[in-house]
Amino acid sequence: MLQAYAVSDVREAEARLLEETPDGELMRRASRGLADVVAERARQRQVRRVVVLAGPGSNGGDALHAGAVLAGEHDVEVVALAPQLHAGGEEAARSAGVTVHGTDPDGEELPAAVRDLIDAAEVVVDGMLGIGGRPGLSGMMRAAAETVPGTAYVIAVDLPSGADPDGVAAPEHCVVADETVTFGVRKPVHLLPATAPVVGEVTLVDIGLEVGVAPVVERVEHADVAGLWPVPAAGDDKYRRGVLGVIAGSEEFPGAAVLCTTSALEAGVGMVRYLGPERPEGLVLAACPEVVPGRGRIQAMVMGSGVPVTDGETSDRRQIQWFRQALASEVPLVVDAGALQLLGHWQRTGHLRCEAPTLLTPHAGELASLLSELREEEVSREDVEADPVRHARRAARSTGAVVLLKGAVTVIADPDPRVPVRTQADGPHWLATAGSGDVLAGLCGALMAAGVEPRDAGALAALVHGFAAHRANPGGPVRALSVARAVGPAVAALLTG
């Protein structure tokens, strides 16, 4: 499992390690690891030219020392983007024969020779700012970042310069990296939604750092699935494997019921019981003949997918009663789409509160509506998208449920603020398609019916959902039904490695 630690905790751990190691040893470890990564990427791309963008601090020092190591076999040049560079790093680079090009730190335009140098770069090492920097770039640093050509492979040192180290603020002007080489441990910038898109692939270099406190962000990896997925034992029957109730679909959106039930069955649930109007029920049984219509014993419930709610009502009045009964029961719940609207209203008026383990699965617009209802204040979709982690945590605290906020980087927030938030970024952008959320809801429900707690269920479902989308049509567009049908083979591939 990937883990990221608060910047303040990382800085304290680094200070302790500095006291325990010989002078300059940590920078030697970091720069050696960085140089190895840069050399390998240059070899893979069959290029020799490396341009280092160096700032004033330790990140600049790491980049300069790495440049000195690379100089023997690569054409390395440095662009100085601060009045003073790291003294030891600059000395090492110059001693290795590296040319250091100066710039006017107070200017707005790069010297023509420097601009041409960056524009022709094949590999760029971004060592301008580190975790002590503020979000955004200005002046010479911004000019340098904007001059980097799209054809260059950009390797950021610790984080892309200008990105928020805490991963909260979406960067307006920053380096966009293909890869980030970080040291010791990951930081929030590497895993949180606002900044993850500019980080690229993250490569971790071991420098002997131990933080000694809990992480603030986690991410489940493919290697974790085998230890978390509910695999049936020899004596299990369909009831022990989990029976999932599904209240999904409507006369207006019947396909949601098919997608949700198909996904749950592909995920390995023991049995699905379906409650819904006549039209979607017929489609469900035609697509999935193993589904049992009607009520009965269940271990978890998915409700709301494809059920439109207007003024607290649905087109099938029975669904309102089913929702109420489910929310009032002790059965673990996955609450999606239309059921989210009803949950917000009922909780605000004090008529109902989730007592069972519950997972909410909104997208940004649905979360905004839920928060507006719960807190009696206007929250917009744009508000949620600007700070998804904060709003997901607010909803989790207000409802007592785990919140899975869908997006390119999915956020899973626990009601307990001490529990690390989880983020998953496993799917292709093609996955933003109609019905995708219905497939995810079915996956979540199958896992919770098998006894997986909501936080793990949300992270596992998001991972498998994304992995199945990649397998359904690698590199190309996918439809939701193809993703649902790819869930079973995706789970098998993850379990068998």
Q: Is the separation of the CB atoms in 127 and 101 below 8 Å?
A: no
In tens, the pLDDT along 90-101 reads 999 999 999 999
Name every residue whose Cβ is closer than 8 Å to that of residue 213 and which is 6 or more positions away in sequence: 5, 6, 9
Same domain, 463 and 401: yes
8-18 burial string, b = 16+ CB within 10 Å, else e?
Answer: ebbeebbeebe
Model confidence at 352, pLDDT cuts 50, 70, 90, reads low
Q: What is the pLDDT of residue 436?
A: 97
CA distance 91 to 29: 17
Regarding predicted confidence, which is higher, 17 or 107? 17
3-state class (DSSP) for residue 313: strand
Same domain, 183 and 320: no
Same domain, 387 and 333: yes
In tens, the pLDDT along 306-350 reads 988 876 666 677 888 888 888 888 899 999 998 898 887 676 666
Q: Is 409 annotated as a binding residue?
A: yes
Same domain, 283 and 200: no
Q: What integer best gives the mean pLDDT of the chain? A: 93
- Asked if pLDDT for residue 275 goes beyond 80, the answer is yes
Q: Is 408 annotated as a binding residue?
A: yes
Strand partners for 80:
54
Q: What is the pLDDT of residue 108?
A: 77
Same domain, 121 and 226: no
CA distance 333 to 360: 8
Same domain, 240 and 163: no
Q: Is the separation of the CB atoms in 269 and 241 below 8 Å?
A: yes
Q: What is the pLDDT of residue 311?
A: 65
Same domain, 109 and 6: yes
The continuous run of DSSP H or E covering 99 comes out as strand 99-101
Q: Is 410 annotated as a binding residue?
A: yes
> Domain containing 91: what range?
2-218
Type of residue at 402: V
In tens, the pLDDT along 20-55 reads 999 989 999 999 999 999 999 999 999 989 999 999
Task: Count the domains in the chain.
Answer: 2
Tokens of 70: 């690379």
Q: Is the separation of the CB atoms in 67 and 90 below 8 Å?
A: no
Regarding predicted confidence, which is higher, 287 or 373? 287
Q: What is the pLDDT of residue 355?
A: 74
Type of residue at 422: R
Distance, C-alpha 170 to centroid of its chain: 14
CA distance 247 to 260: 10
CA distance 81 to 119: 16
* CATH classification of the domain holding 50: 3.40.50.10260
Q: What is the pLDDT of residue 344?
A: 76
Q: What is the pLDDT of residue 313?
A: 67
Tokens of 9: 């905790």
Tokens of 400: 């007592």
Q: What is the pLDDT of residue 167?
A: 95
Q: What is the pLDDT of residue 161?
A: 97
Of 198, 218, 238, which residue sits at a domain end?
218
**Tokens 């000395």 belong to which residue?**
91
Q: Is 302 exposed, middle or buried (0-12, 13-18, 19+ CB in 10 A)?
A: buried
Same domain, 132 and 163: yes
Same domain, 332 and 437: yes
Q: Is the separation of the CB atoms in 119 and 149 below 8 Å?
A: yes
Q: Is 363 annotated as a binding residue?
A: yes
Of 152, 184, 218, which residue sits at a domain end?
218
* CATH classification of the domain holding 246: 3.40.1190.20
Of 218, 250, 272, which residue sits at a domain end?
218
Q: Is 438 annotated as a binding residue?
A: yes
In tens, the pLDDT along 263-274 reads 999 999 999 999
Same domain, 177 and 252: no
Q: In what order do the strands lie in the sheet with 243-247?
A: 2-4, 217-219, 421-424, 410-413, 402-405, 358-360, 333-335, 300-303, 243-247, 271-275, 292-293
CA distance 469 to 480: 8
127-162 burial string, b = 16+ CB within 10 Å, else e?
Answer: bbbbbebebbbeebbbbbbebbeeebbbbbbbbbbb
The continuous run of DSSP H or E covering 219 comes out as strand 217-219
In the predicted model, what is the mean pLDDT of residues 203-230? 96
- Asked if pLDDT for residue 351 goes beyond 60, the answer is no
In whole angstroms, how large is the CA radius of gyration of the chain? 26
Among 250-264, 312-326, 439-453, 481-495, which is the least confidently predicted range? Answer: 312-326
In the predicted model, what is the mean pLDDT of residues 373-379? 83
Same domain, 138 and 245: no
**Tokens 């790093």 belong to which residue?**
89
Selection from 463, 472, 460, 402 nearest residue 433 by Cα: 472
Tokens of 113: 């020779």
- Asked if pLDDT for residue 192 goes beyond 80, the answer is yes
Q: Is 119 exposed, middle or buried (0-12, 13-18, 19+ CB in 10 A)?
A: middle
Selection from 129, 218, 159 nearest residue 420 by Cα: 218
Angle subtended at Cα 337 by Cα 334 and Cα 343, rounded to the nearest 5 degrees: 70
Same domain, 49 and 191: yes
Q: What is the pLDDT of residue 343?
A: 83
